[in-house]
Amino acid sequence: MSLNGRMLPSAKSFTLIELLLVVAVIVILAGLLLPALSTAREKAKQINCANNLKQCGFAMLGYTNDYNGAAWMFKVTPNYEWPKIFNDLRYLPNEKLAACPSMTPYYYDRNLQYGYLAYGFRSPYDSPASYWLISYTGATLWGYFYPYKINNPSSFLYFADTYSSPVYPQIYIFRITNGAANDNGIHIRHNNNANCWFADGHVKACNKQELLGYEVKWMWAGTGNYAKIIY
């Protein structure tokens, strides 16, 4: 092609092989980067989860400071779970923080599954009797926890990531040993760790061996139909 008698350079087009090479490089880079991005995203959720647990722990300690060292943790018949208690009494202003952002429903909602889908607290059955006051008023069961009676609070885990079943992927109470007909346990969900809040106020990401060191003998790994009990 010419313009005023001068030849214009022709545009160079990619060959099919060159295009395939470009596509292959993009696919390889995506394969290398996506797992790293996924890990980074989960790490961010784990940090968010740890911050949530700290807020929940501080809410409980704030309650105990105002009520003679006792934290009202539950009421049964009718049911009243700890996130509702702490939110209604303004110790946890944002009740959405009472659930892990890495597991459905990703935030606490008192209207879902009876309000059970939350971080779990350690069952009275897995604590010395002196740490709890359990009482009845008619058919209503009340539970009060005394964190300041704990002998070694830095090693006493109290709130944690939990799992019970696909219906209850988070559960507001857990066992560290298997109770009769009770599958509620700590859940290892954050890159082979479970976030745990200890009674001295610190949060730690614990792997299986560390949990065993804290006398946890009943825990979950995996999710949904792939969840399984590990010891």
Task: Decide if 21 is inside a domain.
Answer: no
Q: Which range marks the domain in which residue 160 is found?
A: 50-230
Predicted confidence (pLDDT) per residue in 14-64, tens digit = 687 777 787 877 877 767 766 666 677 778 899 999 999 999 999 999 999
**What secondary structure letter does DSSP report for 115?**
G
Task: Decide if 85 is inside a domain.
Answer: yes
Task: Decide if 131 is inside a domain.
Answer: yes
Predicted confidence (pLDDT) per residue in 84-120, tens digit = 999 999 999 999 999 999 999 999 999 999 999 999 9
Task: Decide if 32 is inside a domain.
Answer: no
**Residue 104 near residue 167 (C-beta atoms within 8 A):** no
Task: Decide if 26 is inside a domain.
Answer: no
Task: Decide if 76 is inside a domain.
Answer: yes
Nearest to 183 by CA among 162, 205, 207: 162
Task: Decide if 11 is inside a domain.
Answer: no
State how many domains the chain has: 1
Record the pTM.
0.83
Q: Is the pLDDT of residue 231 over 90?
A: no
Predicted confidence (pLDDT) per residue in 180-211, tens digit = 546 899 999 998 999 999 999 999 999 999 99
Q: How confident is the model at residue 177 (pLDDT cuts 50, 70, 90)?
A: confident
Task: Decide if 31 is inside a domain.
Answer: no
